[in-house]
Structure 1
Amino acid sequence: MRKLIVAAFTSLDGIIQAPGGPEEDTSGGFRYGGWVVPFADQAFGEAMQTLFSQPFELLLGRRTYDIFAGYWPHQTDSPDPFIADLFNRVPKHVATHHPDTLGWHNSHALLGELADAIRALKQQPGDTLLTQGSGELVRQLLAAGLVDELRLLIHPIILGRGKRLFDDQAQASAFTLADSSSTPSGVLIARYVRDGEVRTGSFA
């Protein structure tokens, strides 16, 4: 069975909304779009290169897919087209109610009940499944217990309000910190691997 990795930019209080730009997602009156940008130093870039260094297929919600499809195909002539070339080439599995509108190269709709479709996808031969953005999809994956690994870039800010990585529907799960590092700008880069059920105890 192939792994499913959730990769996410998050604030200290778990907000993941609109990390990349002011107009990315202003729903709910969110006004801090682009909060990741001030932290994007060389170490941050190297962390992203590491994330994408192993073979993967993208697993995307429809909103993130539309943002990516409108951006990455036009970045192939940029000074550093590494991510553009990858994203344009790899298979992209998309949670959508409109499969006939997926125009980006190598895009595939997830059909039927979402959790069942992803369980079936994990059973198929292929590379690791990697999410980018796609907050609503990620919360459904967490609720269904389908996440094998979390790659979190935790930023030293509190945003107070906005869409969160975890909600109260997430399935209780234990994770082990497999490795971690930090950037000069204060971003904590943490890789957590699924480790079975939550264990409890008592100090009494």
Structure 2
Amino acid sequence: MRKLIGAAFVSLDGVMQAPGGPGEDPDGGFAFGGWTAPFWTEDADPFMGVFGKTETEPFDLLLGRKTYDIFAGYWPVHQEHPIGPLFNRVTKYVATSSPDTLEWVNSVGLTGDVPARVAELKQGDGPDLLTQGSSVLLHALLAHDLIDELRLMVFPLVLGGGKRWFDGLSKPGGFVLEKSETTSSGVISTLYRRAGEVKTGTVGEG
């Protein structure tokens, strides 16, 4: 069985929109594209460490169509960074209504009931599935309780508006913090694993 890992850069108020650059995703008039850039330091690599997956930890990508198009327009021509050849090589599963327009090598379209298709993928053999960006897809995965692990890099700023990691429709559940690291620029990398149902009680009792 394959594990599904939800990974993202998020602000303190949960915004995940356009972390990489000004023109990445201006939907809704979002004015802060590239908000993660000032925080990248020698001890904060956006693709490694707690957040990332490396060649020693195999994975396939699971992407929404908008994120796929952003990646497909960038990584195939940026082979100088190690992530370029890696993203080219792995299988990229894409939630899309137009699978015939996926031109990036090793791309596979997921159509129809995407959560059901993802559930089938998880039951099969192969490397873990890793999301990047893809807020609409993530909301569907969280609503269907398909994510086994969260890898979030939390940045010390508030953006006020934009596409958020959680949309209020996520299925309730518990997680256990497996690991966390803080960079010199104040970014907190966290790794959470799914841990059953939400537990409740009265503070101060028991």
TM-score normalized with structure 2 length: 0.95
Identify the residue that residue 67 of structure 1 maps to in structure 2. Answer: 70
Helix, strand or coil: the match of 1:161? coil
Identify the residue that residue 48 of structure 2 maps to in structure 1. Answer: 49
What is the CA–CA distance in structure 1 between the aligned matches of 2:47 and 2:83, rounded to whole Å? 9
Can you give the 5+ residue segments of structure 1 that lack an aligned partner in the other structure? Answer: none
CA contact (8 A) 2:47 2:83 kept: no
CA contact (8 A) 2:152 2:189 kept: yes
The 5 A counterparts of 1:162-173 are 162-173=162-173
CA contact (8 A) 2:21 2:35 kept: yes
Aligned-residue offset at 1:91: 0.3
Bigger helix fraction: 1
User: What is the Cα-based RMSD across aligned positions, in Å?
Assistant: 1.0
Aligned-residue offset at 1:48: 2.1
Helix, strand or coil: the match of 2:48? helix
Helix, strand or coil: the match of 1:48? coil
Helix, strand or coil: the match of 1:168? coil
Identify the residue that residue 29 of structure 2 maps to in structure 1. Answer: 29
Identify the residue that residue 83 of structure 2 maps to in structure 1. Answer: 83
Aligned-residue offset at 1:202: 1.1
Identity of aligned residues (%): 53
The 5 A counterparts of 1:143-182 are 143-182=143-182
Aligned-residue offset at 1:27: 1.2
Helix, strand or coil: the match of 1:44? coil
Structure 1 outlier segments of 4+, above 3 Å: none
Q: State the aligned residue count.
A: 200
What is the CA–CA distance in structure 2 between the aligned matches of 1:30 and 1:83, rounded to whole Å? 27
CA contact (8 A) 2:65 2:96 kept: yes
Can you give the 5+ residue segments of structure 2 that lack an aligned partner in the other structure? Answer: none
- Kindly provide the CA deviation profile for residues 152-188 of structure 1, in whole angstroms up to 9, marking residues without a partner as x: 0000000111110001111101000000000000000
